Amino acid sequence: MLGGPIVLIWDNLDVHKAAGLREFAASRDWLTIYYLPPYAPDLNPVEGIWSLLRRGWLSNVAFSTPEHLVQRIRRGLRHIQYRSDLIDGCLAETGLTIRST
């Protein structure tokens, strides 16, 4: 257990709204799920992460194997993971904020 409440912000993928998942979330008081409006990639901070990956680690590369692609994605994600300013920037681009309730 992570020791605190968990908040998930998901897009409207059908799997994210499946009945079993809704029942699971409803039975866990430590889990809150918010859904982004349909067709709102500008509100999804993950889109900023993909943009960073595409520009920094995936552009101008001829991938020789699927493993080569996975290696580049992992390297980029590791770099981003340790650069909180990049993550903060992806959140700031959405106009959303994190606040305690």
34 and 57 housed in the same domain: no
The per-residue pLDDT for 12 is: 81
- For residues 51 and 76, state if they share a domain: yes
The answer on 27 and 14 residing in a single domain is yes
48 with 82, same domain: the answer is yes
Q: Identify whether 99 is part of a domain.
A: no
Q: How much is the pTM?
A: 0.61
Same structural domain, 46 and 69: yes
Q: Are residues 83 and 57 located together in one domain of the fold?
A: yes
**Is 69 found in the same domain as 32?**
no
Per-residue pLDDT of the chain (101 residues; tens, 9 = 90+): 566 788 888 888 888 889 998 899 899 999 998 888 888 878 888 889 999 999 999 999 999 999 999 999 999 999 999 998 998 999 899 887 777 65
Dihedral sign (CA 51, 43, 90, 5)? negative
Tell me how many domains the chain contains: 2
Which structural domain range is residue 89 located in? Answer: 42-94
User: Are 53 and 84 within one domain?
Assistant: yes
User: DSSP for 44-101?
Assistant: -HHHHHHHHHIIIIITT---SSHHHHHHHHHHHHHHHHT-HHHHHHHHHHHT------
